[in-house]
Structure 1
Amino acid sequence: MGYSARIASNPYVVGSFACIGGGLFGLDISSMSGVLNNKSYLRVFNKPGPTAQGGIVASMPAGSLFGALLVTQLADRIGRKKTIILAGIVWVIGAILQCASINRGMLVVGRVIAGISVGLSSAVVPIYQSEITPPAIRGRMVSLQQWYSVRAHQSITWGILIQYFIQFGCSYIDGVASFRIPWGLQMIPAIILSAGMVMFPESPRFLFDHGREEEALQVLADLHGKGDKTNELVVLEYEEIKQQVYFERNEGAKSYLDLLKPGNPRRVMLGCCLQMWSQLSGMNVMMYYIIYVFQGAGLTGTRSNLIADSVQYVLNVVFTVPAIIYIDKWGRRPMLIAGTLAMGFWLSLVGGLQGRFGAWGEIDGTPIWLVSDNEAATKAIIVCSYFFVCSFAISMGPVSWTYPAELYSLKIRGKAVSLATATNWVFNFALAWAVPPGLANVAWKTYYIFATFNFAACIHIFFMYPETVGRTLEEVEEIFQQGHLFTAWKIDKNVGKKTLDEVVAKSKHLPIDEHHDSMDEKSSA
């Protein structure tokens, strides 16, 4: 086997390379947040007001919603690999239009097209990763997706950071190149993604589902058994895929109406609501519009604003790491409850400081609620903003993508997760558009609105979200059968857990009591 073939059959390389697809969303967020106070950008696009700027930013998540809904059809019809390649091509088209845009309409079209790519990649990359990696490293690869790319995530952290520093470097350039160069450079990772994916294998799950069983077995052998089709792990994986495919053909959800059948609506709502709370936490304010936040805090210098912003993006990356490492140790509920409380607290402080020390003023002729001539208040607002981002990165960020996938039965999981993801994009779109007018009209009170959302989320999670960490799918099923609709905190850690006798008995298809007696007899003998 040649060097390139060995690389293409290495599950770590294949899974990590696909993460580039997730990073596109992060690139897009920073591509806008870094130019909001760029004089050349404001001149070319006729100084967009709050509503217009909100529409420009919101055009990307609008496209992403459409792209995410397309994945169900594309990934199953043309394959996971080809869908990722297509996402890269679509991104390049969107980036070209943005880079060459001469008016708002052209920019919005470019962002909608780029958004379609983000929707495609954010939905299909985790599917591809989970289907080409062996069980021993599958969780690790999904965590890589969270850290390196799309926030589901929240997987946008590295994309945001890299693009923002490109924006910062180009801020020293005079003229339109200061924003066109960063927008054009966005094409590079997408080109690498599409070109590189050509040499990687298709998902064995897709191949088997389309009658290409022998090809699926060969891919599994190359990825997990060094080419040996008789390898024990390869055979086990092949049988697992076969059983899953047969199950979905016979028992899988045929339509979204299956989500309304008894036992499903509560869990579907929990997944959708968690994605909703993730957006209503206010993280969009601190990512898309952080320049506006720091302007209002009194940090009006373009260069100093960009430097302060970059610290926030670094913190977002750094504090995602412990969340990924300890998410299975800390548990979902404690992370969500502590995170929402902390985010509500820090946003309340930001709003209080703005309201107490700010007043209406103007920056370049634009009315803005501004803290002026108060260095202590300015620094306090910036520090509270940093703490807010850290609180999100270590709690709601990763858990909002991990928890929904653990809620659902195998029969409805695909459609339920896709509905939860669609909810994320709907609220992303709405808030991206609503925040600039909010800051322009109700100013510091905007932070109190998002703080209230966080406190409401905390109450909702405390009463209705059971712990799922360390439980199998069957054990989660039993948790919801216990009831506890408004008393999720009462669920004992051992509810749903199987004893050793129960597990062994089930594996041998024996009644529990009968099996237990037989084990006792063997012990006596």
Structure 2
Amino acid sequence: MYQIGNIYFITALAVIGGGLFGFDISSMSAIIGTNQYKCYFNQGEIPCQGPNPGPQGGITAAMPGGSWLGSLISGILTDRLGRKKAVQVACTLWVIGSIIVCASQNIGMLVAGRLINGLCVGIASAQVPVYISELAPPTKRGRLVGAQQWAITWGILIMFYISYGTSFIDGVAAFRIPWGLQMIPAIILFFGLFFVPESPRWLARKGRWEEVKAIIVLVHGKGDPSAPVVEYEMNEIKEMVEFEKANSDVTYLDLFKPNMIHRTHIGLFMQIWSQLTGMNVMMYYINYIFLMAGKDDVSANLLASSIQYVINVVMTIPALLYVDRWGRRPTLLIGAALMMTWLFANAGIMATYGHWAGPEGVKGQKAASWFVEGAAGKGLIACTYLFVASYAPTWGPVSWIYPPELYPMRVRGKAVAFSTSGNWAFNTALGAFVPASFENIKWQTYVVFGVFCVAMWIHVFFFFPETAGKTLEEVSEIFEDPNGIKYIGTPAWRTHGSYRKARDIETTGFASSMVPRALSKSDGFSSERGEKVSASHFEVPSKVV
């Protein structure tokens, strides 16, 4: 079958999997404030009050709950079927879940459909970054994997405006139409994946070297088998595969062995912290936040919310363009500091200028328990926008870029699946926790997330190494202890990106300061240094030359 080798096209298609997550976020956040939704799923004594905070938290948390399970099983699925087929399985689950959600007759049916949708999102969110990272050249890997986050923001924006448009329709069609339309991207992704290549690193694990060579020539060599980068990539992959032949049986327990636990902890907390920023709380429950800020008209509330989604899309672009030059560490540290500032500012505004809205909350929404009027309300909205503008170019894309870069190929599928499961576990907990939190501890909710931002800044500074510009195989050297005694490796604050070296490799086949290298001790290899040589000094299997 004809295959397209343009890495940007491959990425644009693959990240539709991220767009599905965005569709889910805004199809819920834009709809939960409409009368049609609240009347149909009403639980209170007051007509059209909507679900109570507990059940609404359960509805919201159903999708990330399913995603947690989906991300865990994705590691096994992708190792057996390949990256592409795993994502196609996810697309099938999304269509099934969307049909159930669209046809929901009650809260139980809605929760069931969202759980199945979550299985899809969990698989796609874990394996799409792996798929892209294993195809992308080092100098472009950050922006390409980061496109997953951009797709999420576009999914949020597109579905939000679809949901806003259908909110003017009377009856259940107001929410059934957007819940049905969200099937279309999954169908496009399912069939589009037939026309793009499989991950060459996964194929190499299966011994399919001729296909590996063909894909690298197609994607990296632009059709030229003699391109220097082709031979370099082949040798990098071969070096790792030779080691994996002696370590073929990989389980989740391998992630907790001494040579891998440091990486496992970093990848897991990368995803956990991305949730504890509070960003998805802003997305899911923005309706409640703007109600508390005085936007109690449904139409005005939705339009104010849409500005946040536009900011999210636009502010992700700088990261896609420059994250490989900025590096991962500075981006994360600056993002955490800025988000902390706006969260504490929101807490201060609400504590100083706000007041309790009564037991029924604003407009009967118990979760909107605090009310801020006038200029203070505008300040609350402004800080919310600034928070989104700080998250979008920092923790948003880097949370997807970073985990696939940390692990050797033999455990990458399961390791990224495990780290992504942390994302969804905390997404589930926060989805259920936040409505009750706003109802019970009110403005102090912002303080909780502000403290999390302080903690994540400290954690990143001391433990998260720089991976920008390095090949996936070279990253292992970061975790190698110079004395071969421990598996901590280079202190995180002493690591630096190698954008120039990666650029040299792509253009000449070897770096300006390149020396022959073996895999790190933490992967079972000894590291040897020698004189400057090109990639051609390495041996390649005869059947792939």
**Residue from 86, 90, 112 that aligns with 2:115:** 112
Greater relative contact order (Cα 8 A, min sep 6): structure 1 or 2?
A: 2
Looking at structure 1, the residues matched to 17 and 497 of structure 2 have their Cα atoms a distance apart, in angstroms, of 39
Q: Which letter maps to 1:393?
A: A
Looking at structure 1, the residues matched to 302 and 514 of structure 2 have their Cα atoms a distance apart, in angstroms, of 57
Looking at structure 2, the residues matched to 328 and 192 of structure 1 have their Cα atoms a distance apart, in angstroms, of 29
Segment of structure 1 superposing worse, 417-426 or 299-308:
417-426
RMSD: 3.4
Looking at structure 1, the residues matched to 438 and 29 of structure 2 have their Cα atoms a distance apart, in angstroms, of 15
Q: Go from structure 1 to structure 2 and tell me whether the alpha carbon gap of 1:254 and 1:79 turns closer, same or farther (over 3 Å shift).
A: closer
More helix by share: 1
| 1:347–1:388 contact (8 Å) kept in structure 2 | yes
Q: Spell out, residue by residue over 1:340-361, the C-alpha distance to the aligned partner (whole angstroms, 9 max, x if none).
A: 2221221122122222322223
Q: Which letter maps to 1:476?
A: I
User: How many residue pairs get matched?
Assistant: 500
Q: Spell out, residue by residue over 1:66-98, the C-alpha distance to the aligned partner (whole angstroms, 9 max, x if none).
A: 111122222222232222222212111111111
Q: Spell out, residue by residue over 1:480-509, the C-alpha distance to the aligned partner (whole angstroms, 9 max, x if none).
A: 879998x957637599x99x99844769x9
Aligned pair 1:17/2:17, yes or no? no
Looking at structure 1, the residues matched to 132 and 442 of structure 2 have their Cα atoms a distance apart, in angstroms, of 43
Looking at structure 1, the residues matched to 229 and 340 of structure 2 have their Cα atoms a distance apart, in angstroms, of 47
Looking at structure 1, the residues matched to 182 and 480 of structure 2 have their Cα atoms a distance apart, in angstroms, of 46
Looking at structure 1, the residues matched to 528 and 91 of structure 2 have their Cα atoms a distance apart, in angstroms, of 53
The residue aligned with 2:536 is none
Q: Compute the displacement of 1:159 (Å).
A: 0.9
The residue aligned with 2:357 is 360
The residue aligned with 1:257 is 253
Looking at structure 1, the residues matched to 242 and 496 of structure 2 have their Cα atoms a distance apart, in angstroms, of 33
Aligned pair 1:100/2:103, yes or no? yes
The residue aligned with 2:30 is 34
Looking at structure 1, the residues matched to 130 and 374 of structure 2 have their Cα atoms a distance apart, in angstroms, of 48
SS in 2 for 1:48: coil
| 2:130–2:404 contact (8 Å) kept in structure 1 | no
| 1:204–1:220 contact (8 Å) kept in structure 2 | yes
SS in 1 for 2:432: helix
Looking at structure 2, the residues matched to 477 and 10 of structure 1 have their Cα atoms a distance apart, in angstroms, of 33
Q: Go from structure 1 to structure 2 and tell me whether the alpha carbon gap of 1:463 and 1:37 turns closer, same or farther (over 3 Å shift).
A: same
| 1:339–1:392 contact (8 Å) kept in structure 2 | yes
| 2:14–2:128 contact (8 Å) kept in structure 1 | yes
Aligned pair 1:369/2:369, yes or no? yes
Q: Go from structure 1 to structure 2 and tell me whether the alpha carbon gap of 1:212 and 1:342 turns closer, same or farther (over 3 Å shift).
A: closer
TM-score, normalised by the number of residues in structure 1: 0.85
The residue aligned with 2:479 is 477
| 2:362–2:369 contact (8 Å) kept in structure 1 | no
Looking at structure 1, the residues matched to 256 and 88 of structure 2 have their Cα atoms a distance apart, in angstroms, of 35
The residue aligned with 1:521 is none
Looking at structure 1, the residues matched to 425 and 270 of structure 2 have their Cα atoms a distance apart, in angstroms, of 13
Q: Spell out, residue by residue over 1:368-426, the C-alpha distance to the aligned partner (whole angstroms, 9 max, x if none).
A: 42325x32111110001001111111222222233334444556544433322111111
**Residue from 150, 163, 172 that aligns with 1:167:** 163
Q: Spell out, residue by residue over 1:304-352, the C-alpha distance to the aligned partner (whole angstroms, 9 max, x if none).
A: 1101100001111111111232323333333222222221221122122
Uncovered stretches (5+) of structure 1, i.e. residues with no partner: 149-155, 517-525
Looking at structure 2, the residues matched to 481 and 145 of structure 1 have their Cα atoms a distance apart, in angstroms, of 38
The residue aligned with 1:452 is 451
SS in 1 for 2:171: coil
Aligned pair 1:306/2:302, yes or no? yes
SS in 2 for 1:294: helix
Q: Which letter maps to 1:128?
A: Y
Segment of structure 1 superposing worse, 137-146 or 275-284:
137-146
Q: Compute the displacement of 1:434 (Å).
A: 0.6
Q: Compute the displacement of 1:442 (Å).
A: 1.4
1:45-84 aligned at under 5 Å gives the runs 45-46=41-42, 47-84=50-87
| 2:74–2:126 contact (8 Å) kept in structure 1 | yes
Q: Compute the displacement of 1:207 (Å).
A: 3.8
Looking at structure 1, the residues matched to 348 and 280 of structure 2 have their Cα atoms a distance apart, in angstroms, of 19
Uncovered stretches (5+) of structure 2, i.e. residues with no partner: 43-49, 502-510, 519-525, 533-545
**Residue from 312, 316, 332 that aligns with 2:312:** 316
| 2:129–2:400 contact (8 Å) kept in structure 1 | no
Q: Spell out, residue by residue over 1:195-238, the C-alpha distance to the aligned partner (whole angstroms, 9 max, x if none).
A: 22233343344444335444444444554556676766555544
| 1:315–1:389 contact (8 Å) kept in structure 2 | yes
| 1:252–1:412 contact (8 Å) kept in structure 2 | no
The residue aligned with 1:434 is 433
1:94-493 aligned at under 5 Å gives the runs 94-133=97-136, 137-148=140-151, 156-224=152-220, 233-234=229-230, 236-251=232-247, 254-356=250-352, 357-361=354-358, 362-367=361-366, 368-371=368-371, 374-409=373-408, 412-470=411-469, 472-478=474-480, 491=494
SS in 2 for 1:198: helix
Q: Go from structure 1 to structure 2 and tell me whether the alpha carbon gap of 1:411 and 1:84 turns closer, same or farther (over 3 Å shift).
A: closer
TM-score, normalised by the number of residues in structure 2: 0.82
Looking at structure 1, the residues matched to 204 and 527 of structure 2 have their Cα atoms a distance apart, in angstroms, of 32
Q: Which letter maps to 1:325?
A: L
Q: Compute the displacement of 1:166 (Å).
A: 1.0
Q: Compute the displacement of 1:58 (Å).
A: 0.5
Q: Go from structure 1 to structure 2 and tell me whether the alpha carbon gap of 1:76 and 1:340 turns closer, same or farther (over 3 Å shift).
A: same
Q: Go from structure 1 to structure 2 and tell me whether the alpha carbon gap of 1:415 and 1:436 turns closer, same or farther (over 3 Å shift).
A: same
SS in 1 for 2:265: helix
Q: Compute the displacement of 1:43 (Å).
A: 1.4
Looking at structure 2, the residues matched to 444 and 50 of structure 1 have their Cα atoms a distance apart, in angstroms, of 17
Looking at structure 1, the residues matched to 527 and 36 of structure 2 have their Cα atoms a distance apart, in angstroms, of 74
Q: Go from structure 1 to structure 2 and tell me whether the alpha carbon gap of 1:43 and 1:459 turns closer, same or farther (over 3 Å shift).
A: same
SS in 2 for 1:308: helix
Q: Compute the displacement of 1:441 (Å).
A: 1.4
Looking at structure 1, the residues matched to 136 and 275 of structure 2 have their Cα atoms a distance apart, in angstroms, of 30
Q: Go from structure 1 to structure 2 and tell me whether the alpha carbon gap of 1:364 and 1:493 turns closer, same or farther (over 3 Å shift).
A: closer
- The share of aligned pairs that are identical, in percent, is 47
Q: Spell out, residue by residue over 1:459-485, the C-alpha distance to the aligned partner (whole angstroms, 9 max, x if none).
A: 333344344445542541357879998
Looking at structure 1, the residues matched to 318 and 182 of structure 2 have their Cα atoms a distance apart, in angstroms, of 29
Looking at structure 2, the residues matched to 112 and 427 of structure 1 have their Cα atoms a distance apart, in angstroms, of 15
Q: Go from structure 1 to structure 2 and tell me whether the alpha carbon gap of 1:270 and 1:480 turns closer, same or farther (over 3 Å shift).
A: farther
Q: Which letter maps to 1:247?
A: F
The residue aligned with 2:45 is none
Segment of structure 1 superposing worse, 230-239 or 82-91:
230-239
